[in-house]
Every structure is written in structure tokens, then in C-alpha cells.
Amino acid sequence: PMEAEAEARLLLQEAQESIEAARSYRRELEQRLRGLQQAREQIRESATLTRDVLEQHFNDLKGTLKKLLDERLMSLLQEVDAIEQESIKPLDECQKLIEHGVSTADDLLRDGESAVHGDVGQRNEKLCSFTKKALHIQLDSLPEVPSLVDVPCLSAQLDDCLLTILKNQIFSHGTVASRPPVQLEEFVEKPGGILVRWCKVDDDFTPQDYRLQYRKSTASHFEDVYVGSETEFIVLHIDPNVDYQFRVCARGDGRQEWSPWSVPQFGCTTLVPHEWTTGLEGYSLSSRRNIALRNDSQSCGVLYSKAPTYFCGQTLTFRQFLLGRIETVGQPDRRDSLGVCVEQQNGYDTLQRDKAVCISTNGAVFVNGKEMTNQLPAVTSGSTVTFDMEVVQLGPCSNEGGSFKLRVTISSNNREVVFDWVLDQCCGSLYFGCSFSYPGWKVLVF
């Protein structure tokens, strides 16, 4: 009986495993069916959109061509009218002169006949008057009439090769691409932003520039967010936990037109944006609180982030997690610094203190208040400073403390320093901060 019970349990377990495998298999098949349905919808939707684009484009071409042809016809007809009027005008003047001569000759003939056939007593006087009148008219002077070879003979010269050229151009105009030459490759969450990467998928296509667009899932129109030669871009001002749709296209080397758009894909970020804390008298903030400007106030101190939004351990490698673009018109001070810290500590006028790592405006690097021997280039207008951190050692954490080591990389002006930052407490997230003694310094953080 015990063996039978054990065998029954084994059979039951095998049956349950088979049932679970069948369920998993069914889920996978259903997922693939959904994938096929999405692929079918994509083909149909893109085909419908392509038909609409083609019909609209060629309708626009027909309308434009008709308009251009009508304008050209009107121009040629006006040219015919101008030549006709210009050529007829002297003929009309000559006709008026001849018609006047005919009228004068008719009058002269009537006078001559009257003089010849008149009374004998008045004949001599009438004949004398008629002769003088005839001499005055100059009957031997006739207006010149141009010959037919000397007057314009209008005609239209129409080159039939235009039809051949248009036919060749029209038959080669436009193409239908089944796959775009570039596609979106990866979305990386950033605080208040998304790092979008794309890649070329057509080996025969040589890109010159890329064009990235995005829109909220609730918006109807895409908008440009990047145009350039890079294959990645950080899109800022992204609301957390909101879906955004992205697409990218490219322009071939030496060409003006853009390629077809990539397949639109959705991306989002769950990370809240980096923000400076409000209320510190010495600094003015932008509307999004990601830009801090050292104002003319005499008060000084360290401006911290609103929250510890710089996380360690989100990925294996932290790159450009804190990125500052510094534009300065102010004077430097040895206490000026930009960096990260474990906690906010009021009462300091610099980040060059314990539980903080920072870089000063002269390029010196401070770890827990101590200056390192390695130094970076000075921070000037347009400089970019980046902080990358990863956990390299985590000791036992307790109320009495423990060892917590972070591998820190600070980069500035294409140079970097790498060191280990040892803390006595576990830190899942860090604050960032800056301190400037003189007005004019402006810091954008993202």
C-alpha cells in the first residue's frame, strides 16, 4: 500500500507538472498569436497609411502640374496677344493713311469731273483751281505697304520631348519600402527623461543625419526632438509613468529627402526628474527646477537636490546619471563645487566636506573633504561634468555602521578620475548639490 501511495503521489506530481507545462505552453502560444495579430495589424495599417500618402501626394502633384500648365499656357497666350497687337498697330496706321488718301482722291475726282463738264464761262477758273489742288495733294506720293515676308507670322514651337522627360520622371518617381532603414533599438530610463537609442538595419543605406520624434500617448501629432548624426539622444521633460511614442528616420548621404519612419514604439520612465530644492536665498530656479542660477544675493550656502534622486545600483554601470552643463560669467572661488553627498547638511558654504564627493571650479576633486592628487580641467563656460557610481563592496550594515564602498568616476572635458568612496553607512540613493560664492553661475542638472 505504501508503494502504491508513493506511486500515486508521483503520478499526481507528474500530472500536475504536465498540466502546468501545458498551461505555460498555451500561454506562449497565445502570446505568439497576439504577436502575429499585431504584425498583421501593423502591415495592414501601414499599407493603408501608405495608400493614403501616395494618393494624396499624386493628387497634389496633379493639381500642381495643372496649375503650372495653365500658368504657362496663359503666359504664352499673353505673349501671342502682345506680338499680335504690336505687329497690327503699324498696319492699322497705314490703313488709315491709305483710306484717307482714297477719300481725298475721290474728292479730287469729283472736283475734276465737275470742272471738265461745267459751264463754259466758269470752266477755266474751275480747271485752274482743280489743277492747283491736284498739285498740292502730290498724286505721285504713295504710302509703302510691307510685303508678307516682312510682317510677323506667328507660330507655336512645342517640343514633344517634354512628354518623354515627364514620362520618365513620373514612372521613376516614388518608391515603396517594406522596411525602414533605421529602427529604434533601446530605451533607458533617466530621471525625468528617456535615453533613446536607434540603429541602422539596412546595410546598403549610408545615413548622414537622423531625425527623432516623439509624442505623448494622448497626443495626435509627433514633434521633432532631435536632428543630427548621433545614434542616441536623451529626451528630457518626460513625465514619469506616462507612455510616450517614439519614431526615427534618416537622411541618406548627399540626399535631401528623409527615409520612411521606423516602427513607432512606446517608452516611459519611472524615475522622477532631478530637481533643486526651493527656498535658498542665494539661488533662483527655473520653472521645472532643474536649472539653478546663483543670483546677486549676499547669502551663501550649498544648494541641494529636492530629494535623493541619484540612485546607486539601478544598473551595473552608472553613466551620466548626474550631468551638469555649467555656463559661467561669474568669478571662481576655491570653495565653489559641484557633486553628490549622502545627506543634506546646512551650515556649510561648500560641498568640500565629509560624506560628499565633488569637483571644484578649478578642477580639484574632493573626497570626504580631502583633496585628491589627481585633478581635472577647470570648470568653465560650457563645461560638462558627469558622475558615475557603482557599488563595489557592501559590508554588514547595522546601527553601529558598516563598510560601503562605491566606485566613483568623475568626467570633465574628456578627462576622468576614478576612485573608491568608502562610507560608514549603506546608501541606496544620494543627494546632489552645488555651491558658488559669486553670482553668474548657472547649472542645469538631468
CATH code of the domain containing 189: 2.60.40.10
Residues 135 and 252 in one domain: no
Residues 315 and 389 in one domain: yes
Kindly state whether residue 42 falls inside one of the protein's structural domains. yes
Kindly state whether residue 436 falls inside one of the protein's structural domains. yes
- DSSP E strands in 154-253: the ranges are 182-190, 193-200, 207-216, 223-228, 232-235, 244-252
pLDDT at residue number 399: 47
pLDDT at residue number 18: 93
Could you give the C-alpha distances from 115 to 140, 200, 223, 360, in angstroms and in order? 21, 108, 100, 127
Residues 420 and 334 in one domain: yes
Q: Write the pLDDT tens digit of every residue in 271-310.
A: 888 899 998 989 999 898 988 898 888 888 999 999 998 8
Closest C-alpha to 88, from 20, 26, 153: 153
Residues 149 and 105 in one domain: yes
Contact yes or no for 128/136 (Cβ under 8 A):
no
Residues 302 and 429 in one domain: yes
Contact yes or no for 401/425 (Cβ under 8 A):
yes
State the average pLDDT over residues 231-249.
Answer: 93
Residues 292 and 441 in one domain: yes
Kindly state whether residue 10 falls inside one of the protein's structural domains. no
Kindly state whether residue 303 falls inside one of the protein's structural domains. yes
Kindly state whether residue 24 falls inside one of the protein's structural domains. no
- How does residue 34 score in pLDDT terms, banded at 50, 70 and 90? very high
Contact yes or no for 80/88 (Cβ under 8 A):
no
Beta bridge partners of 341: 356, 431
Residues 143 and 238 in one domain: no
Residues 233 and 167 in one domain: no
State the average pLDDT over residues 214-230.
Answer: 93
Residues 167 and 191 in one domain: no
The winner for highest mean pLDDT among 135-144, 166-175, 358-367, 374-383 is: 358-367
pLDDT at residue number 317: 31
Largest separation between any pair of C-alpha atoms in the chain: 177
Residues 234 and 145 in one domain: no
- How does residue 313 score in pLDDT terms, banded at 50, 70 and 90? low
Residue 291: φ, ψ to 5°: -120, 130
Residue 244: φ, ψ to 5°: -125, 145
Domain limit, last residue, from 153, 172, 191: 172
Report field, pTM of the whole predicted structure over 0.85: no
Domain limit, last residue, from 139, 172, 205: 172
Alpha-carbon gap, residue 377 to 415, rounded angstroms: 8
pLDDT at residue number 331: 66
Q: Write the pLDDT tens digit of every residue in 36-78.
A: 998 899 889 889 988 998 999 999 999 999 999 999 999 999 9
Residues 165 and 193 in one domain: no
| Number of domains present in the structure of the chain | 3
**Helix (H) and strand (E) counts in the chain:** 3, 21
Domain limit, last residue, from 269, 293, 309: 269
The vertex-383 CA angle with 382 and 386, nearest 5°, equals 140
Kindly state whether residue 255 falls inside one of the protein's structural domains. yes
CATH code of the domain containing 303: 2.60.120.920
Residues 150 and 186 in one domain: no
Q: Which structural domain, as residue segments, surrounds residue 118?
A: 30-172
Kindly state whether residue 3 falls inside one of the protein's structural domains. no
